[in-house]
A and B are shown apart, each in its own frame.
Chain A
Amino acid sequence: DAKTTQPPSMDCAEGRAANLPCNHSTISGNEYVYWYRQIHSQGPQYIIHGLKNNETNEMASLIITEDRKSSTLILPHATLRDTAVYYCIVRVGTNDYKLSFGAGTTVTVRA
């Protein structure tokens, strides 16, 4: 699976949009971009995933660049409950469901 690079931490003001970048310059054509988050002392939570088109759901939006070498997770209106470690994971979308977690980005939402 392709390696991802994320900033170690970022702060965000409550009510503002949080834009979380992820670089995956070695991504191959059949690899998807997944985002999960882990609130302190809990299991990770799925947020969103995509292949090449931008995606949106009730939690977030995922913007993938045209060359697919980077992506941005957007939390449109961050709340204090969005404080968590956010993981960007790239892998092939097959029945092999293994996930390889990197260090992620620690997002702190401040009032």
Chain B
Amino acid sequence: GAVVSQHPSWVICKSGTSVKIECRSLDFQATTMFWYRQFPKQSLMLMATSNEGSKATYEQGVEKDKFLINHASLTLSTLTVTSAHPEDSSFYICSAPGRVTDTQYFGPGTRLTVL
């Protein structure tokens, strides 16, 4: 089946630094990818829709200047958390629509800890 990978799987950074998270579709092309955030013991919250070759679409309340999304190719979307702060510590998950069936394939997630 379709596979989505994320890198890194976990990252620890100092407050004020920027962190880039990659999301790749390994055996299929994805013109659209989605980024979610999940805090402990909570459900997934959609942050933004990443569109290949155009600007990302952000959900209400998500700061586009803080969470930079780049979808430079049909298999890669990146999420950069700029000037990270401890409150940005979370589990970040990406997904991409399946080719045939109307499903979403999720990456394994990236755990970000900001000290």
Contact = CB atoms under 8 A, between A and B. Distances in A.
B-side interface mostly: strand
Given A42-B109, A44-B44, A102-B43, A97 B97 contact: yes
Contact of A98 (B46, B106, B109): B46
Given A42-B109, A43-B95, A93 B102 contact: yes
B93 A104 contact: no
Contact of B49 (A46, A98, A101, A104): A98
B34 interface: yes
A99 interface: yes
Interface residues of A, number: 21
A39 B76 CA distance: 25
A38 B43 CA distance: 10
Interface of A: 32, 34, 36, 38, 41-46, 49, 87, 93, 97-104
28 contacts: A36-B104, A38-B44, A41-B91, A41-B111, A42-B108, A43-B106, A43-B107, A43-B109, A44-B44, A44-B95, A44-B104, A44-B106, A46-B98, A46-B103, A46-B104, A46-B105, A49-B102, A93-B102, A97-B32, A97-B34, A97-B97, A97-B102, A98-B49, A99-B34, A99-B46, A99-B95, A101-B36, A102-B43
Q: Ordered nearest first, which 10 A-B pairs have the shortest CB separation?
A: A43-B106, A46-B103, A97-B97, A101-B44, A101-B43, A44-B106, A43-B93, A43-B109, A43-B107, A43-B108
